Amino acid sequence: MTAVARAIRDIPLLTKLAIVIVAGYVIVAVFAPLIAPYGETVVVGPTFDVPSAAHPLGTDNLGRDMLSRLIFGARNMVALALTTNILAFLIGGILGMLAAVVGGWLDQVLGRLMDAAMGVPQLILALLLIAILGNSLIVLICIIAILDSTRIFRLTRAVSMNIVAMDFVEAAQLRGEGVIWCILHEVLPNITVPLLAEFGIRFCYVFLFISGLGFLGVGLQPPAADWGSMVRDSATLITYSVFAPLYPAVAIAVLTVSVNFVVDWVLRRNNKATA
């Protein structure tokens, strides 16, 4: 217990704050229906109402409670980004480790495929694919995950290569171990820290990407609350010096910055441990 207490004490103040913020987002996301004063899609007042006791952040373009939308938006966004990110890591991570452990033609083929996918700007490719495949939640998740997995593939392959070059992997291969054992027992435990850090960074990118798609109107479809489209819906209000479009924007920014702080700390701590 003292070790845990000491570990907590050694966390820098900013990182502590960031951890609390990230935890706060997760709690809000999980318990959205309990926390939110109104329903996600219920019209509760006039459109673009100013903040009041009943509606602390006012109402949106259809008269829905802004605070409730924001809270449900957290749930949608975090869940969507998390699912997408996990899927992307499964694809990119497994293929990356396969390429490193098996090597040879498989490495070459996978590498060139990923290069080709990375050659086209992500947003344009995503818009194109959504236009072709239609806009559903599954399609959205798959497209973003596959596009993102190319970067994860690169990183995983690079860090795995460093491990594969070690004698203990050669020893396992000489013993006759298969590819799956080598990946799960020899390579993966040695690359979890850089992968975890990358998970945090990619989470931010995915989050911003989904927000971007939402802002362009091809992300989560209404009436589901999504911070990107919420910015767009109330964007015109900024000219009347009303803060409505800024709330979701700030929510996006704070989460992204906080996650980055946590990731930096994880990386720094690991560097210190290996040095």
Partner 1 sequence: MQAPNPKGTLLRIRNLRIEAGAGSAWKEIVHGVSLDLAAGEMLGLIGESGAGKSTIGLAAMGFARPGCRISGGEVVFNDIDLLKDVKELKRVQGTRVAYVAQSAAAAFNPAYRLIRQCIEVPVVRQRERKSKVVERVRNLFTRMHLPNPNGIGDRFPHQVSGGQLQRVMASMAMSPRPALIVFDEPTTALDVTTQVEVLAAVRETIRDLGMAGIYISHDLAVVAQMADRIMVLKNGNVVEEGSTDQVLQQPREAYTRNLVGQRRFRKQHVPDAQSAVLTVDRVSAGYHGVPVLENVSIEARTGETVAVVGESGSGKSTLARVVAGLLKPMEGRVLLDGTPLLPSFKQRPREELRAIQMIHQMPDTALNPQQIVGKIIGRPLAFYFGLTGARREERVRELLRMVEMDPDIFLKRRPGELSGGQKQRLCIARALAADPKIIICDEVTSALDPLIADEILKLLDRLQHEKQLTYIFITHDLATVSAIADKVVVMKAGRIVEQGSKEEIFAPPHDPYTELLLSSTPKMETDWLDNLLDERDAARKSRSGEVAPAEA
Query: Which residues contribute to the site for partner 1 (CB under 8 A)?
Result: 166-168, 170-171, 173-177, 185-186, 189-190, 272, 275
Closer CB to partner 1, residue 49 or residue 186? Answer: 186
Q: How far is the CB of 168 from partner 1 (least distance, A)?
A: 5
Q: How far is the CB of 161 from partner 1 (least distance, A)?
A: 14
Q: How far is the CB of 272 from partner 1 (least distance, A)?
A: 7
Closer CB to partner 1, residue 141 or residue 182? Answer: 182
Q: How far is the CB of 176 from partner 1 (least distance, A)?
A: 5
Burial readout 259-270 (b: 16 or more C-beta within 10 A, e: otherwise) = bebbbbbbbeee
Q: How far is the CB of 101 from partner 1 (least distance, A)?
A: 13
Q: How far is the CB of 104 from partner 1 (least distance, A)?
A: 11
Phi, then psi, of 59 in degrees rounded to 5: -125, 165
Closer CB to partner 1, residue 37 or residue 189? Answer: 189
Closer CB to partner 1, residue 57 or residue 182? Answer: 182
The rounded distance, in Å, linking the Cα atoms of 79 and 110 is 29
The rounded distance, in Å, linking the Cα atoms of 169 and 181 is 10
The rounded distance, in Å, linking the Cα atoms of 61 and 69 is 12
Q: What angle do CA 58, 43, 215 make, to 5 degrees?
A: 70
Q: How far is the CB of 105 from partner 1 (least distance, A)?
A: 15
Closer CB to partner 1, residue 107 or residue 177? Answer: 177
Helix (H) or strand (E) holding 144: helix 137-164
- 3-class secondary structure, 64: strand
HSE, side-chain direction, 13 A CA sphere, residue 141: 17
Q: How far apart are the first and last CA of the chain?
A: 26
Residue appearing with tokens 């020899």 = 186
The rounded distance, in Å, linking the Cα atoms of 96 and 268 is 24
Q: How far is the CB of 183 from partner 1 (least distance, A)?
A: 13
Closer CB to partner 1, residue 5 or residue 167? Answer: 167
- Between helix 66-102 and helix 246-274 the angle, nearest 10°, is 30
Choose among 56, 52, 70: nearest CA to 229: 70
Cβ atoms of residues 38 and 65 within 8 Å? yes
Closer CB to partner 1, residue 164 or residue 197? Answer: 164
Closer CB to partner 1, residue 164 or residue 204? Answer: 164
